[in-house]
Amino acid sequence: MSDRIQSIRGMHDVLPPSSRMLRDLEHSLQDVLRQYGYLEVRLPILEQTELFRRSLGEVTDVVEKEMYTFEDRNGDSLTLRPEGTAGCVRAGLQQGILHGQPVRLWYGGPFFRHERPQKGRYRQFHQIGAETFGLAGPDIDAELMVMCQQMWQRIGLPTGPVLEINSLGTLQARQSYRATLTEYLKQHESRLGTQEQQRLHTNPMRILDSKNPDIQDVIRNAPSLSEHLDPESSEHFEGLKALLHTAGIQYHVNPQLVRGLDYYSKTVFEWVVPELGAQATICAGGRYDGLVDQLGGKPYPAAGFAIGLERLMSLLEASWADDTGIDAYMVLAGDQASHEGMRIAGRLRKQLPSLSLIVNCGGGSMKAQMKRADRSMAKLALILAEEELNCGTISVKFLREQRDQETVSQENLVSYLDKQLCTEGPKS
Ligand code: ATP
Ligand code: MG
């Protein structure tokens, strides 16, 4: 029978142990954000469709074909958030925090895009993003990149991602470049695909972002934006490069890096892991000085980035396999042991807050309980049977090591477990 309801294509259940991996990953990234003084914002998952149309731009992949948009019961057009920046600016404006003191914020959670699902590209995926407001100089751009670098070190990415940077210039500078680019691309119009031909008239810069293999040489030889940069943006870009140099961060200037969304100006950047193929960008961001103004506020400088967590997870999969994080499984023989076990377990959890301990429920023979202990992936089995009850002890069996069983007095159990499990403060 195949009448079971399935999940929506490209939207995945995250089960253990991946769920733990995702949680650990989020905690590590959040801890780096905390170190830099970024504060969390929790924003709605649904926004008015108009917000994304106005901020991302009409002629972008996301708005043209990737948004989950629907009418609610009142007939309002709503959209599941495809990215976090627009909502963050909307909230900042609505809550009146975009003036005076600069702000550093972060957000995380699920995002939604109707794309063709494949490895590293899903319809529901997770991001952690940072956004800063009120800072116009290259120092904050550099801070965002330095912070990312620290995140990669913190989570132990096996291969260091490559930082690619570019400057898109101010909006005015971009307009004059756009005219030059259009003229060049028109000479190659016959080689462009249908979509690119349309974009020639609506948003020619997006053609530089195209992954169409037939026109990669056209893209490579296109006039470069860097030759058309306005002096202010050039100075900003040089300032950024000098700061990255001081911070010891290697980067590669990629003149083809234009980013898919309209709101960027001046600095844009991506962290790329080439082994991931067509889904190689694990983090993308840049400066969007015009967006606050575009969404109805006074002009206010802003810069940020977003990290795709599934792509990071795929890089870390090998090193994190199969650890549920469970420390111990308590095996109980008989009624009295069940009562005593619950009492001992309560005390252990209170005194060792980082301990993860399962107490057997549902009875079963010793053999069946030991099997459950093994399947739980716990490191230790704590056995409480008649003999242990009589002697005030507990037997400890090592499930993942070749080591003899030990008997520990119940009194010393806390310090014994503390030592065995090397519990250093609360676990993430
Ligand atoms: P791509 O060029 O790969 O489509 P993008 O430019 O559309 O990426 P952004 O809007 O910059 O992506 O989102 C930031 C990050 O979020 C990306 O670098 C990527 O790591 C992740 N991401 C974006 N879309 C998806 C998706 N559909 N599934 C999984 N992760 C995604
Ligand atoms: Mg995309």
- With respect to residue 288, please indicate whether it lies within any of the assigned structural domains: yes
Find the ligand nearest to 10 CA. Answer: 1
pLDDT band at residue 368, thresholds of 50, 70 and 90? very high
Provide the percentage of residues in the chain whose pLDDT is more than 70: 98
Average pLDDT of the chain is 93
Give yes or no: residues 147 and 98 share one domain.
yes
Give yes or no: residues 359 and 313 share one domain.
no
Give yes or no: residues 288 and 376 share one domain.
no
- Look at residues 411, 419, 379 and name the one whose alpha carbon lies nearest to residue 396: 379
Atom 6 in ligand 1: which residue has the minimum CA distance? 260
Look up residue 262 and give its two tokens.
Answer: 């309209």
How would you class 402 by CB atoms within 10 Å of its CB: exposed for 0-12, middle for 13-18, buried for 19 or more? exposed
Atom 12 in ligand 1: which residue has the minimum CA distance? 284
CB 419 within 8 A of CB 406: no
- For the chain, what is the domain count? 2
Provide the percentage of residues in the chain whose pLDDT is more than 90: 78
Partners of 107 in beta bridges:
129
Tell me, in angstroms, the distance from the centre of ligand 2 to residue 83's CA: 10
- With respect to residue 215, please indicate whether it lies within any of the assigned structural domains: no
Q: Which CATH number belongs to the domain containing residue 141 in this structure?
A: 3.30.930.10
Tell me, in angstroms, the distance from the centre of ligand 2 to residue 285's CA: 13
Average pLDDT of the residues in 64-83? 97
Tell me, in angstroms, the distance from the centre of ligand 2 to residue 179's CA: 25
Give yes or no: residues 352 and 269 share one domain.
no
Atom 7 in ligand 1: which residue has the minimum CA distance? 260
Q: What is the pLDDT of residue 426?
A: 42
| The model's pTM | 0.91
Tell me, in angstroms, the distance from the centre of ligand 2 to residue 9's CA: 17
Residues with CB under 6 A from ligand 1: 83, 113, 115, 120-122, 125, 127, 260, 279, 281-284, 306, 308, 310-311
pLDDT band at residue 424, thresholds of 50, 70 and 90? very low
Tell me, in angstroms, the distance from the centre of ligand 2 to residue 165's CA: 18
Give yes or no: residues 343 and 366 share one domain.
yes
Q: Which CATH number belongs to the domain containing residue 396 in this structure?
A: 3.40.50.800
- With respect to residue 332, please indicate whether it lies within any of the assigned structural domains: yes
Domain boundary among 272, 298, 319: 319
- With respect to residue 156, please indicate whether it lies within any of the assigned structural domains: yes
Give yes or no: residues 376 and 269 share one domain.
no
CB atoms within 10 A of CB 216: 12
- With respect to residue 201, please indicate whether it lies within any of the assigned structural domains: no
Look up residue 123 and give its two tokens.
Answer: 């319809």
Least confident of 133-142, 179-188, 299-308: 179-188
Give yes or no: residues 400 and 288 share one domain.
no
Domain boundary among 319, 340, 355: 319
Find the ligand nearest to 82 CA. Answer: 1
Look up residue 315 and give its two tokens.
Answer: 């890089």
Domain boundary among 319, 336, 371: 319
Where is pLDDT greater, at 206 or 217? 217
Ligand 1 atom, smallest distance to 283 CA:
18
Q: How far is it, in rounded angstroms, from Cα 229 to Cα 241?
A: 15
Average pLDDT of the residues in 398-415? 96
What are 377-401's pLDDT values in tens digits?
999 999 999 999 999 999 999 999 9
CB atoms within 10 A of CB 321: 10
How would you class 386 by CB atoms within 10 Å of its CB: exposed for 0-12, middle for 13-18, buried for 19 or more? exposed
Find the ligand nearest to 123 CA. Answer: 1
Ligand 1 atom, smallest distance to 122 CA:
28
Atom 20 in ligand 1: which residue has the minimum CA distance? 308
Give yes or no: residues 380 and 242 share one domain.
no
Give yes or no: residues 165 and 283 share one domain.
yes
Q: How far is it, in rounded angstroms, from Cα 402 to Cα 405?
A: 10
Please say if the pLDDT value at position 331 is more than 80.
yes
Q: What is the pLDDT of residue 428?
A: 40
- With respect to residue 67, please indicate whether it lies within any of the assigned structural domains: yes
- With respect to residue 163, please indicate whether it lies within any of the assigned structural domains: yes
Give yes or no: residues 136 and 93 share one domain.
yes
Please say if the pLDDT value at position 74 is more than 90.
yes
Give yes or no: residues 276 and 350 share one domain.
no
Find the domain containing 83 and state its range: 18-170+230-319
Atom 23 in ligand 1: which residue has the minimum CA distance? 308
Give yes or no: residues 397 and 301 share one domain.
no
Q: How far is it, in rounded angstroms, from Cα 115 to Cα 110?
A: 15
How would you class 162 by CB atoms within 10 Å of its CB: exposed for 0-12, middle for 13-18, buried for 19 or more? middle
Atom 15 in ligand 1: which residue has the minimum CA distance? 308
Average pLDDT of the residues in 162-174? 91
- Look at residues 58, 113, 55, 64 and name the one whose alpha carbon lies nearest to residue 86: 55
- With respect to residue 186, please indicate whether it lies within any of the assigned structural domains: no
